[in-house]
Structure 1
Amino acid sequence: MTTGTRTAARRTAARRTACAAALLLALTAVPTSAVAVTADPVHVEGRLPSGATYAMDVPAGWNGTVLLFSHGYNPGPANPATNGPDEATKSLLLKQGYALIGSSYATTGWAVTDAVPDQLATLSAFTGRFGAASRTIAWGRSYGGLVTTAIAERHPERIDGSISLCGLVHGGVANWNNTLDPVFALKTLLAPGAAIPLVDLPDQKTAADAANTLTAAVDSAQSTPAGRARIALAAALHNIPGWNDPAQPKPAPTDWEAQQANQYTAVKGMVKFPAFSWRQEAETRAGGNMSWNTGVDYARMLGRSAVREEVTALYKKAGLSLKADLTALHRAPRIAADPSAVRWMSATSSFTGKLAKPQLSVHTTGDALVPVQTESALKRAVTAAGRTSLLRQAYVENAGHCTFSPAEQVAALHTLEDRLTAGRWVGTDPGSLNSRAAAADPTTPARYAAYRPAPYPRPYDLAHPADGR
């Protein structure tokens, strides 16, 4: 065979290969195209290369918008894929034609380094199967709000806008710092002689033992006026509100005893899970303790707290010196962070405020787990980055963490969509949001209200490089 003949043969083979590849692509594309236009809704489950699973729901008559949902903190061991905040809200959205997708994340716990790539991979898998969406909106609740904001800052090219619901939008370093503050106060004032490690927890047994010991001290203190005042002080350092569970009757504005009783329950919940068990898991990822209170002025922090009046009143009623207790906190041995752990948490879980696409951040006013003041921290970062035109924040007057109605969540979505369509924010006032909510689902509450959160007590973000260093 001559050189020319061999070249011609190679070209012929290449054309045949190209044709075969094109035919294969066409054949494999048929199901995708068929799924996208089918008159029946489609539910898909699958597994990503990371090991994370995903779930996708595409309704009949898909409207072209896909909602990428990031779920909240999951301590495990169960790790299901989640593609919406609750079944009632999902049902409303599917009826309106939205496609819903979301992953499990490859690991549980403080899994931001898995969550972001797994969510993006889920979006890619959706596009590969159903085609490119005309609009992609990232949204998430609680820890999923942190994941959503990380996607919004680091991968804005993958989305058109984002919604954070009751999110950890203050970032990881700020979260763990402010989780340390109330337990530091509880240990110092209620159990000063007890060997309760607050950081550098080597395993879950150590964390559980520490939580049990401190819980016993809190339970004992609740039986005395002085103990209740001190629990209220610890709650104030985290801005735990006096109405923080929908099951609680809402106390009168100056019913300090009822407010403290509600805080007591929330403080015990914080001790049981975030302050020890969840911290231990996060420390393992960070490679050490990522929190500190060196240089923290707790008297100043109390002065900025949303519940400082309650603390002052309860100390006075107990005949206890608030100044003396604040002095005790000031003099107590402080906790220093492991710099490498801070760097890890900062790099993976803190924010620059440099939004590139519109974000709507929504919070309940009575949240004890992720206090509404986190919204102040987000605004601080976004303002420093010069991106305030891209951010709007709204508040739902209700107790509890992520206790939004389906109507309120759908109203937030429609408000963001209007921003994406019009190129400017419209209808972000409480009246407009409540009208949207009532139109979306008149059977569930619409409780948007005018609200301005107090400053977040321990802000930390990448827009202020001197923070806490």
Structure 2
Amino acid sequence: MRVRSLAALAALVLASVVPTSAAHADRVPDDQPLPGYTIDNPPLAPVLVHGKPSRVLQGVHRHAAYDIEVPPHWNGKLALYAHGYAGQGFVLTVGPPPFGLRQRLLDQGYAWAASSYYDNGYDVRAGVLSTRDVAELFADKVGRPKQRIIAGVSMGGHVIGRSLEQFPGYYDGALPMCGVLGDDELFDFFLDYNVVAQDLSGIREYPVTDQYATVTVPKIEAALGLTGLRPGGPDTTNERGKQFRSVVINRTGGKRPGDVQSFAVWKDFPFTLATPEPPDATLAEYPAQLSTNLFTRYEPNEPVNVNATVQRVRAANLPARLSNRLSQVPRINGRPTVPVLSLHGLGDMFVPFSMEQIYAKEVARNRRSGLLVQRAIRTTQHCEFSNVEAGTAWDDLVRWIDRGRRPAGDVTTKPSVVARPDYGCRFSDPAAYAAGTGTRRLFPACP
């Protein structure tokens, strides 16, 4: 029994087991899902592109559902969309790019294609292979594109980061949004959250039991003064609760605008990701097999010397963590070969802003920083972007690919820069703030 961390906004209590895909693939027709799965892919209505309807193709290919859409005047270029975590259920779904990108792509002459992936769960390998498969299917059904750009959200960012390294040169550019670019360090953070809260509260339960969420977590939150904490409300945290909040802020990107209010939004959710380990779980079902805090140094380390007292946890599946093979939860090594422009919410504490910092440091170690541009958006919820923010990023990426003009971005790895009051203002949509959309007003107005 160990902490189970599933990188998904909807991951609560998941009791189902995902069928093992590879074991049956050779016995199932290519145009059918793998055993145990069904497909939900209702007809996608064409849209008008400069007054003429698009052409939509849908079906099943290599056990995954797919959608393809081609504008009336195709420019010969293809955008691939990599979706995020779809849960642990047995229904495969697929849909178009979000944030208004579907219409934007078509209006610009781009075709797009998306796959459900052949497997659910946190299966990045399925995303990498199925996205490549639908790109090749597009070449057969429509024509071989002269350019491929891959975009995606959340776990789709993990798919993108690994795809660029698994198939170097296959894609011409990438737009990961709110992406898991720090790979297994996301699951380290989920572990950190629970064991540090237990340590500072003095209420330990690790490995967790079935009563962790209902009995133990309320005691932990009460001991830290978190129970009544609300965004915009009074600060109810006690001394140890303040230390816990600071540790979490540092583990998710460091001191930055909106950090305290964002913690109040997310304070409960990471506890829900700690559940008993199911028997014989795969990596896709239980990514916490990879998580560890053996070498993590927590700051601030006072008033409690948490680094001396916190429970240390070894990776349950160390070979998988160290392996560079294409597993269900593979490593990203920071070796892009094409332009990458990423967006990330500054207050996101589910797939935290630190994912961008980890990736930037890895890319820099490989001397490829010239291929990476990152933008911080002043939002708190996961993948909370406006159409303007995503559309501007797409347009800038396209110009970079086509004309070699590297666009502007934010510095993510210098704490003094990230802590500035105006950090994240440059690429955040002022109209969304003016309208009070979503969590925008948790941040001070930009100067």
1:121 matched to 2:133? The reply is: yes
- 1:368 aligns with 349
- 2:214 aligns with 212
Q: Distance in 2 between matches of 1:341 and 1:428?
A: 34
- 2:40 aligns with none
- One-letter amino acid matched to 1:220: A
* Shift in CA distance, 92/422, structure 1 to aligned 2, threshold 3 Å: closer
TM-score, normalising length: structure 2: 0.70
* Shift in CA distance, 54/177, structure 1 to aligned 2, threshold 3 Å: same
- 1:41 aligns with 54
1:190 matched to 2:201? The reply is: yes
Q: Distance in 1 between matches of 2:176 and 2:289?
A: 27
Q: Which moved more, 1:93-102 or 1:375-384?
A: 93-102
- 1:410 aligns with 391
How much has 1:99 moved relative to structure 2? Answer: 1.4
- One-letter amino acid matched to 1:69: Y
Contact between 2:78 and 2:145, CA under 8 Å: does it hold in 1? yes
Contact between 1:71 and 1:144, CA under 8 Å: does it hold in 2? yes
1:326 matched to 2:337? The reply is: no
How much has 1:129 moved relative to structure 2? Answer: 0.6
Contact between 2:156 and 2:179, CA under 8 Å: does it hold in 1? yes
Q: Distance in 2 between matches of 1:289 and 1:422?
A: 44
* Shift in CA distance, 52/263, structure 1 to aligned 2, threshold 3 Å: same
TM-score, normalising length: structure 1: 0.67
Q: Deviations over 1:128-149 (max 9, x none)?
A: 1110122210111111011011
Q: Distance in 1 between matches of 2:376 and 2:137?
A: 34
- 1:94 aligns with 106
How much has 1:290 moved relative to structure 2? Answer: 1.4
* Shift in CA distance, 137/214, structure 1 to aligned 2, threshold 3 Å: farther
Q: Which moved more, 1:335-344 or 1:128-137?
A: 335-344
Q: Deviations over 1:53-94 (max 9, x none)?
A: 1111212222222110101112142431133124x3323332
Contact between 1:69 and 1:84, CA under 8 Å: does it hold in 2? yes
Unaligned segments of structure 1, at least 5 residues = 1-37, 199-205, 244-249, 254-258, 304-321, 449-469
- One-letter amino acid matched to 1:83: P
Alignment of 1:259-338 (within 5 A): 259=260, 262-273=262-273, 275-276=274-275, 283=283, 289-298=289-298, 301-302=299-300, 322-323=302-303, 325-327=304-306, 329-338=307-316
Alignment of 1:147-226 (within 5 A): 147-171=159-183, 173-192=184-203, 194-197=204-207, 209-221=211-223, 222-223=226-227, 225-226=237-238
Give the alignment partner of residue 343 of structure 1, picking from 313, 322, 338: 322
- 2:20 aligns with none
Q: Distance in 2 between matches of 1:432 and 1:422?
A: 23
Q: 3-state SS of the aligned residue for 2:290? A: coil
Q: 3-state SS of the aligned residue for 1:399? A: coil
- One-letter amino acid matched to 2:297: D
- One-letter amino acid matched to 2:372: L
Contact between 1:186 and 1:234, CA under 8 Å: does it hold in 2? no
- One-letter amino acid matched to 1:367: D
- 2:29 aligns with none
Contact between 1:181 and 1:234, CA under 8 Å: does it hold in 2? no
Q: Deviations over 1:92-131 (max 9, x none)?
A: 3323332121111111121112111111001111111110
Contact between 2:205 and 2:216, CA under 8 Å: does it hold in 1? no
Contact between 2:149 and 2:171, CA under 8 Å: does it hold in 1? yes
- One-letter amino acid matched to 1:294: L
When the two structures are aligned, how many residues end up with a matched partner?
358
Q: Distance in 1 between matches of 2:344 and 2:277?
A: 22
Per chain length, whose mean CA-contact separation is higher, i.e. which structure has more relative contact order (CA < 8 Å, sep 6+)? Answer: 2
Q: 3-state SS of the aligned residue for 1:153? A: helix
How much has 1:426 moved relative to structure 2? Answer: 3.9
Contact between 2:181 and 2:356, CA under 8 Å: does it hold in 1? yes
* Shift in CA distance, 287/375, structure 1 to aligned 2, threshold 3 Å: closer
- One-letter amino acid matched to 1:144: G
Contact between 2:277 and 2:286, CA under 8 Å: does it hold in 1? no
- One-letter amino acid matched to 1:211: A
Contact between 1:361 and 1:392, CA under 8 Å: does it hold in 2? yes
- One-letter amino acid matched to 1:138: I
How much has 1:284 moved relative to structure 2? Answer: 6.2
